[in-house]
Structure 1
Amino acid sequence: MPLEAAIALIALAVALWLRPWRMLTGRPGPGGIDDRLASPLLTPLLGVLVLLPWIWALPTLHKMPLQLQWSAAPLVLLMLGWPLAIPVLLVVAAIAHFLSPALNWQAALGLAVWQGVVPATLALLWGALLRRWCWHNIFVFILARGFLGTVLSVFIATLLGQAAGHVLPSINEDLSRLARWLMAWGDGVITGMLTAVFVVFRPQWMATWSDAIYLEAPPEP
């Protein structure tokens, strides 16, 4: 409990220091300064707050031998950016606590950290490495960041959570690692698919996407 609280507080303090609310301010419309349009990130933000709490609460709302979990934190990071994603993920965990009677505050905090804050932060670091060491291309963004980055970030985060004491009920340690690996692939497939759809049809919903960076012409030899 103290470890999860410390991680959540530090991440939230850093995120608020970066002033994430600036990403939700309106932008000038066709009519000029006074005619302002709402931020396009409001739509994915509201979608996350409506859908993701139910997904996080679902494993505690039914009884199954293996509780299937979907993080979606890397997808939230890609859509909202890290400073805005962190407080949103913490709010998602709080809403999930109220949706499920079996999800107490301690479990909700662990959920927020190991399924939200940690995988989102790992996905941010992975994206920074790709920006630094890999060529800039739409397929790199979708496959390497949306798909592979999600698999690695979610799997590592869940392993860290398991080491901190958040184990899958009625599952031994070896089988738990295998289950987390398979669930991370499911997370990666869904995130990669939605990343491809949003980049093509709703690029304004992706705060981490840039036409100037990922659609630039390759350098001439």
Structure 2
Amino acid sequence: MVTIELLLTGVALVAALAVRPWRLLRGPLLTPTLASAALLPWCWLLPQHLPQGMAVQFSGASLLVLMLGWPLAVPVLGGVAVAVWLLGHAGWEAVLSQWVWVGLVPATLALLIGWALRRWLPPNVFLYTLGRGFLGTAVALFASGALYEGIHHLMEGVTVHEALVARWLMAWGDAFLTGLFAAVFVAFAPQWLATWSDERYLRPPPKA
């Protein structure tokens, strides 16, 4: 499992850094980037402070993709993972697994879902907030968790039924918060959403 996770992180970092995402920090995205880097580690540290068996987890990966775009979200998630390793008591293997399955994989799936919605559905503010922010996050988080549990099941023979139910429920919590923040940012701070465009989503429909 560690080999797979190292491979995924290497590929993601190379692909993200190849487009030089730090250039986006010269504009309004600096504020949400710094806020994410400061707040998200504490959300990722939460499972380490809960009683054993209560692995509640807020990802934030889908929201980062909406705010920063995938290329910038990837190194930010890496920085979050490093902070979790320095501030927490989990080993580097556990933090690496968290980075991959709570951060990179959901972020990549959220990117693909966003691309599909843009490709096959008309531009609409509700499709953005509900499709990408709410439903897209739920699908991305659950698919990532199911993929992890499936690989774990194949490699170590663990039971996955109860784990999948928990993954499904936790995905909706993440989806609710992401959809909420996406709607608030669309209304009050659209400059904090790299994936938002007034021209695309607010233009009047063509006349018949």
Question: Structure 1-normalised TM-score?
Answer: 0.89
Shift of 1:57: 1.2
Contact 1:126 1:149 in 2 (8 A): yes
How many residues end up aligned between the 2 structures? 203
Out of 87, 111, 116, the position equivalent to 2:103 is 116
Amino-acid identity (%): 49
Shift of 1:64: 4.2
Instruction: Establish whether residue 89 from structure 1 lines up as the match of residue 77 from structure 2.
Output: yes
Structure with the bigger percentage of strand: 1
RMSD: 1.3
**For the residues of structure 1 that align with 2:56 and 2:25, how far apart are their CA atoms?**
33
Structure with the bigger percentage of helix: 2
How does 1:57-68 map onto structure 2 within 5 Å?
57-68=45-56
Shift of 1:18: 0.9
Out of 159, 162, 176, the position equivalent to 2:146 is 159
Instruction: Establish whether residue 80 from structure 1 lines up as the match of residue 68 from structure 2.
Output: yes
Shift of 1:220: 2.4
Question: Structure 2-normalised TM-score?
Answer: 0.94
Contact 2:62 2:106 in 1 (8 A): yes
Contact 2:150 2:160 in 1 (8 A): no
For 1:207, the aligned partner's letter is: A
Q: 2:181 maps to what in 1?
A: 194
* Structure 1 counterpart SS, 2:53: coil
Q: 1:126 maps to what in 2?
A: 113
Q: 1:14 maps to what in 2?
A: 15
Deviations 1:130-150 (A, max 9, x none): 111001011110001100000
Deviations 1:48-72 (A, max 9, x none): 1111111111101231432111111
**For the residues of structure 2 that align with 1:80 and 1:7, how far apart are their CA atoms?**
20
Q: 1:51 maps to what in 2?
A: 39
The ranges of structure 1 where at least 4 consecutive aligned residues each deviate by more than 2 angstroms after the TM superposition are: 163-166
Q: 2:200 maps to what in 1?
A: 213
Unaligned runs of 5+ in 1: 26-38
